[in-house]
Copies of this chain bind each other. A is one copy, B any other.
């Protein structure tokens, strides 16, 4: 083998005591085939791909012995069934944004995003190193799930509007395709939240059955062609400042894995976590330029509207916390973390970003 012969020749590069030897121990590692139910259709290729990355990396790291087959939404179970499928052991793994399950418990959203929450990097910091993962795993244990961060989209867009939003009054009676906690927040301000599958947004917006719709960001929204049926593209999606995607593993299946496979799977999820965010960051700027080039009008939500939504969101959290101790426990921890993060990011990070953006804009105008 080339490898062996090289290692012999390269002995000078090896540490004292280093050596190459075969080991019988690894022969014990089992061949395993798992199924992973994604909450996303294959058409959402960037989110969907995170699960495929995990599958590919785990297979490579184990010489093909640990296989994870990925199924798109609806192939084994529908999006809404992913959590239960992992909980009940119908599949060994799932891949989903946890805020899909706020109907079961709003606490799920803290694993992903709540309105006016953390940005992508802050959500990662909280989860990995800020104590978040321990709190979340304690919560997920009740659902027989071992959860791992596995992707983020970054701050999403606020969606497509047929008419401009200039004041809070413009929200009254607005039929807006938006779900979860964001829908509950906006309902406090008169919005009538609409639940419509991604594929049905285009005709609903075209016919005027709805007035506005949010989906993801430029790259995914462009694929749905929403720019053809609504002129105004609002930002930011303040309800999704950095939504985290999670890998779910049935907790007994997790415990059954050799330690080696646990480490391999966990690192593969970290790798997918990095790559998914990076891929969106590469794809979104290109799509945004194309959308603006095709006539899309970018609009920031007015401060007045954002401020009213901010207040409504925090009223909602207080209401939920008052009756849901699981939510309260994690939310209190998370909220203090958010406060610290905002103070720090306002200094070096934000000043750097703002200067760079202002300078680019000034240069582009010349």
Residues of A within 8 A of B (CB): 2-3, 6-7, 10, 12-15, 17-35, 57, 60-63, 65, 69, 89-92, 116, 119-122, 124-125, 127-130, 154-158, 217-218, 235-238, 241, 250, 252-253, 255-260, 262-264, 266-268, 270-271, 273-275, 277-279, 281-282, 284-286, 288-289, 298, 300, 303, 306-307, 310, 339-357, 359-361
Check A236/B13 contact, CB under 8 A, given A260-B61, A284-B344: no
Q: Which of B33, B62, B256 contacts A17 (CB 8 A)?
A: B33
Q: From A261, which residue of chain B is reached at the shortest CB distance?
A: B61
Contacting pair B35 A31 (CB below 8 A):
no
Q: Which of B89, B156, B361 contacts A10 (CB 8 A)?
A: B89
Contacting pair B65 A340 (CB below 8 A):
no
Chain B's nearest CB lies how many Å from the CB of A118? Answer: 9
Contacting pair A30 B22 (CB below 8 A):
yes
Q: Which of B23, B255, B361 contacts A65 (CB 8 A)?
A: B23
Bound together, the chains give a CA A30 to CA B6 distance in angstroms of: 13
Q: Report 25 cross-chain contacts, Cβ distance below 8 Å, ordered by A residue.
A: A2-B256, A7-B256, A10-B256, A13-B91, A15-B33, A19-B31, A22-B31, A26-B65, A29-B63, A57-B263, A63-B259, A121-B281, A129-B279, A155-B348, A157-B347, A235-B351, A237-B352, A266-B271, A270-B273, A270-B275, A273-B274, A274-B274, A306-B355, A339-B360, A346-B361
Q: How many copies does the complex hold?
A: 2
Provide the residues of chain B in CB contact with A69, threshold 8 Å.
15
Contacting pair A154 B349 (CB below 8 A):
yes
Contacting pair B344 A356 (CB below 8 A):
no
Contacting pair A253 B121 (CB below 8 A):
no
Q: From A152, which residue of chain B is reached at the shortest CB distance?
A: B121
Q: From A301, which residue of chain B is reached at the shortest CB distance?
A: B351
Provide the residues of chain B in CB contact with A288, threshold 8 Å.
343-344, 347
Question: 4 tightest A-B contacts by CB?
Answer: A13-B89, A125-B281, A285-B344, A18-B33
Provide the residues of chain B in CB contact with A235, threshold 8 Å.
347-348, 351
Contacting pair A125 B342 (CB below 8 A):
no
Provide the residues of chain B in CB contact with A346, threshold 8 Å.
357, 360-361
Contacting pair A236 B33 (CB below 8 A):
no
Provide the residues of chain B in CB contact with A339, threshold 8 Å.
360
Check A33/B19 contact, CB under 8 A, given A10-B253, A264-B267: yes
Bound together, the chains give a CA A31 to CA B7 distance in angstroms of: 12
Q: From A361, which residue of chain B is reached at the shortest CB distance?
A: B346
Given contacts A3-B255, A60-B263, A350-B357, 14 further A-B contacts (CB under 8 A): A2-B256, A3-B258, A7-B256, A13-B91, A13-B253, A15-B69, A18-B33, A21-B31, A22-B27, A121-B154, A122-B281, A270-B275, A289-B343, A342-B356
Contacting pair A157 B89 (CB below 8 A):
no
Provide the residues of chain B in CB contact with A65, threshold 8 Å.
23, 25-26
Bound together, the chains give a CA A2 to CA B271 distance in angstroms of: 30
Q: From A20, which residue of chain B is reached at the shortest CB distance?
A: B30
Bound together, the chains give a CA A32 to CA B347 distance in angstroms of: 45
